[in-house]
């Protein structure tokens, strides 16, 4: 589902220094399976050579509407070929001309001719971005159905720091991906927990588990790509999340409990909560302020129970909202244990999976268990599994 195979992506560059990043965007779109062609405004060719982009795409680069060697109507054919158009970088000038309906170079004429989704990634100096005329043009382009991605705050070409940096190629490629995914989570608020928890023994040691966080991160990302507002409560992991996801980093089960309570108890009530985190059931009774010394012979570490976050959410919810999804990671009796959790924790859906299939892997083999039925999903990438879980949760959200 998160692939651009069989999709034609037309990357159109305006004349800005960020054109060098648009070269990486071409690469990123190709990496995700898209067939890419490139058009450049005359000024864009001053920043990046056409030879580079022709070499990367294996296609001639369109730069001149008046190219006599070109047999047809360049802008009409390019627009008809594209399944999605990405204008990156979109300069102040390009955006103003597009908003006003100009069509006097290959980029503007092709954009005017489009019938497919279009994305613009603005890149300009902060003062230019903040100019009232630019903001007016952003609104006009948005009203025309163009998706604006970025710009971001950060270092600009001249060394200043401010808003105006072009969004990173991965973020633009994600926006491209969203064009081909259902927007069925638009207007929904989803809270996801992910990763392990670390229960401190002393300042140096902790009790942890082998959860990588990949499943929860895949769920958060899939929900975001399908239009949801997402909060991701993440235990310790090195994974990176989409900057458009509101991420709360936590360490222990107690921290995670608190963060989930804040997320669920705020003014904006979530529609769906998915507990994909591998929460430690126990924590050391006391956290030693100093590093514990070695002992002669064996030793014991008293443990106390952690709160069950999911059960707490299940028991305290009034009515059917938020829809609650939990995981059951087992080494045996998969379905039986999932059914017990469904009842005890009062949740709508349990994703039941075997530890040998799930832990640390890119793939998983899961069964979705609800009171009414069991849906085996077979071996899938965690990305695909995330989308299937969201499909099932959505059925409950709209019922
Ligand atoms: O009972 P068990 O740990 O197998 O249940 C797993 C499910 O419950 C997962 O969704 C996990 O995130 C959640 N859980 C929790 N708080 C705990 C333990 C598990 O929310 N203390």
d(CA 313, CA 154): 39
Q: Say how many C-beta atoms besides its own lie within 10 A of residue 39's C-beta.
A: 28
Distance, CA of 48 to CA of 40 (rounded, Å): 9
What does the DSSP 8-state code read for residue 157?
T
Using CB distances shorter than 6 Å, the residues near ligand 1 are: 253, 275, 277, 279, 281, 306, 308-310, 326-328, 341
Q: Looking at the annotation, which residues are catalytic?
A: 209
Residue nearest to atom 2 of ligand 1 (CA): 328
| pLDDT tens-digit readout, 33-59 | 999 999 999 999 999 999 999 999 999
Q: How far is the CA of 391 from the centre of ligand 1 (A)?
A: 22
The preferred substitution site among 194, 276, 308 for testing ligand 1, maximizing ligand atoms within 8 Å of CB, is 308
Task: Output the pLDDT for position 356.
Answer: 77
Among 219, 324, 326, 358, say which to mutate for ligand 1: greatest number of ligand atoms within 8 Å of CB. 326
Q: What is the DSSP letter of 45?
A: G
Beta pairing class for 152-155 and 229-234: unpaired
DSSP state of 254: H
Beta strand 282-284 pairing with 303-305: antiparallel
295 contact partners, CB below 8 Å, separation of at least 6: none
The 10s digit of each residue's pLDDT in 91-146 is: 999 999 999 999 999 999 999 999 999 999 999 999 999 999 999 999 999 999 99
| Residue 355, pLDDT above cutoff 90 | no
Instruction: State both tokens at 202.
Output: 């002393």
Concatenated DSSP letters of 86-127:
EEEEE-HHHHHHHHTT---SHHHHHHHT--S-EEEEE---HH
What Rg, from alpha-carbon coordinates, does the chain have? 25
Residue 326 has pLDDT above 90, yes or no: yes
**Residue 142 per-residue DSSP state:** H
Tens digit of pLDDT for each residue in 260-319? 999 999 889 999 999 999 999 999 999 999 999 988 999 999 999 999 999 999 999 988
Q: Kindly give, in sequence order, each residue whose CB lies less than 8 Å from that of residue 183, ignoring residues fewer than 6 positions away.
A: 226, 227
pTM to 2 decimal places: 0.91
Distance 224 CA to ligand 1 centre (A): 23
Could you tell me the distance, in angstroms and rounded to a whole number, from the CA of residue 21 to the centre of ligand 1?
42
| Statement: residue 7 has pLDDT above 80 | yes
In ligand 1, which atom is closest to the CA atom of 260? 20
pLDDT at 142: 98
């Amino acid at each position: 589902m998160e692939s651009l195979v069989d999709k034609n992506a037309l990357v159109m560059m305006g004349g800005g220094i960020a054109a060098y990043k648009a070269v990486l965007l071409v690469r990123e779109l190709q990496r995700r399976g898209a067939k890419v062609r490139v058009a450049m405004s005359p000024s864009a060719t001053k920043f990046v050579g056409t030879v580079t982009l022709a070499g990367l795409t294996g296609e001639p680069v369109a730069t001149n509407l008046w190219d006599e060697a070109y047999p047809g109507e360049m802008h009409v054919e390019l627009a008809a070929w594209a399944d999605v158009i990405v204008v990156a970088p979109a300069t102040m000038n390009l955006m103003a001309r597009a908003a006003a309906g100009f069509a006097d170079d290959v980029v503007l004429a092709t954009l005017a001719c489009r019938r497919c989704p279009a994305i613009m990634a603005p890149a300009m100096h902060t003062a230019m971005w903040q100019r009232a005329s630019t903001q007016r043009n952003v609104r006009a382009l948005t009203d025309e159905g163009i998706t604006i991605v970025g710009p971001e705050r950060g270092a600009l070409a001249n060394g200043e720091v401010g808003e105006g940096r072009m969004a990173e190629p991965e973020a633009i490629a994600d926006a491209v991906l969203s064009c081909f995914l259902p927007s069925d989570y638009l207007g929904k608020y989803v809270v996801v927990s992910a990763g392990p928890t670390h229960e401190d023994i002393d300042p140096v040691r902790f009790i942890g588990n082998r959860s990588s966080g990949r499943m929860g991160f895949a769920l958060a990302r899939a929900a975001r790509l399908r239009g949801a507002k997402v909060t991701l409560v993440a235990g310790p992991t090195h994974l990176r999340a989409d900057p458009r996801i509101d991420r709360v980093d936590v360490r222990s089960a107690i921290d995670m409990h608190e963060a989930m309570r804040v997320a669920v108890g705020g003014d904006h009530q979530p529609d769906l909560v998915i507990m994909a985190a591998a929460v430690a059931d126990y924590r050391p009774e006391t956290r030693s302020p100093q590093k514990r010394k070695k002992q002669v012979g064996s030793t014991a570490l008293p443990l106390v129970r952690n709160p069950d976050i999911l059960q707490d959410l299940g028991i305290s919810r009034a009515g059917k909202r938020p829809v609650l999804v939990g995981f059951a990671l087992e080494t045996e009796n998969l379905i039986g244990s999932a059914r017990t959790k469904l009842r005890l924790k009062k949740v709508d859906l349990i994703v039941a999976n075997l530890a040998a299939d799930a832990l640390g892997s890119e793939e998983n083999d899961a069964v979705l268990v609800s009171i009414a039925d069991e849906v085996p999903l077979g071996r899938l990438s965690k990305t695909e599994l995330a989308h299937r879980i969201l499909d099932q949760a959505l059925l409950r959200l709209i019922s």
